[in-house]
A and B are shown apart, each in its own frame.
Chain A
Amino acid sequence: MSTQVEKHPLPYWNPYVAGIGLGLVLLASFVVMGRGLGASGAFSSLVTVGVQAVAPNHVANNEFYAEYIGDGTKSPLKDWLVFEVLGVFVGGFISGSLAHRVTKVVEKGPNISTRGRLLMAFAGGGLMGIGAKLARGCTSGQALTGGALFNVGSWAFMMMVFGGAYAMAYFVRRQWQ
Chain B
Amino acid sequence: MIAPFFKYGLFGEDISLVVAFITGIGFGFFLERAGFNSAKKLAAQFYFTDLTVFKVMFTAIITAMVGLYYLSVIGFLDLSLVYLTPTFLLPQVVGGLILGFGFVIGGYCPGTSCVAVSTGRIDGMVYLGGIIFGILVFGEVFPLVSNFYVSTSMGQITLPQITGLPYGLLVFLVVLMALGGFVGAEWIEKKMASKKAGASL
On A, residues with C-beta under 8 Å from B are 12-13, 15-37, 39-40, 43-44, 46-48, 50-51, 62-65, 78, 80-96, 99, 101-109, 117-118, 120-169, 172-173, 175-177
User: Are A160 and B55 touching (Cβ within 8 A)?
Assistant: no
Q: List 8 A-B contacts (CB under 8 A).
A: A22-B31, A47-B136, A80-B17, A87-B24, A130-B135, A136-B85, A149-B65, A160-B96
**Cβ contact within 8 Å between B59 and A132:** no
On chain A, the residues within 8 Å of B122 by CB distance are 104-106, 118
Q: Is the interface of B mostly helix, strand, loop or mixed?
A: helix
Residue of B nearest to A90 (CB): B25
Given A135-B99, A139-B109, A160-B93; 18 other pairs, CB 8 A cutoff: A32-B4, A36-B82, A40-B110, A40-B131, A43-B131, A47-B135, A51-B139, A84-B23, A92-B31, A95-B28, A101-B32, A103-B119, A129-B137, A129-B138, A131-B101, A133-B135, A164-B101, A176-B40
**A62–B136 alpha-carbon span in the complex (Å):** 12
CA distance A51 to B22 in the complex (A): 29
> Which chain A residue shows the least CB distance to B96?
A160
Q: Most chain-A Cβ atoms within 10 A of its Cβ — which of B37, B135, B149?
A: B135
A-B interface, 6 closest residue pairs, ranked by CB to CB distance from nearest: A124-B106, A87-B24, A125-B130, A129-B134, A164-B100, A19-B59
Q: Are B24 and A86 in contact (CB under 8 A)?
A: yes
Contact between A16 and B134, CB atoms less than 8 A apart: no
Q: Nearest chain-A residue to B150 (Cβ)?
A: A63
Contact assessment for A173 and B130 in the assembled complex, using a CB-CB cutoff below 8 Å: no
* Measured CA separation A82–B110 after assembly (Å): 13
Between A and B, how many residue pairs show CB distances below 8 Å? 534
CA distance A35 to B157 in the complex (A): 16
Q: How far is the CB of A117 from chain B (nearest CB, A)?
A: 6
A22 vs B116: C-alpha distance when bound (angstroms): 17
Q: How far is the CA of A122 from the CA of B167 in the complex (A)?
A: 41
With A18-B34, A163-B97 given, is the CB distance from A123 to B23 under 8 Å? no
Q: Is B145 an interface residue (CB 8 A)?
A: yes
Please name the residue on chain A nearest to B2 by beta carbon.
A31
A residues in contact with B157, CB < 8 Å: 151-153
Would you call B68 and A157 a contact (CB within 8 A)? no
Please report which residues of chain B, range 176-197, place their CB below 8 angstroms from some CB of chain A when the two chains form the complex: 182
Q: How far is the CA of A171 from the CA of B25 in the complex (A)?
A: 35
CB interface residues, B 110-134, toward A, < 8 Å: 110-124, 126-134
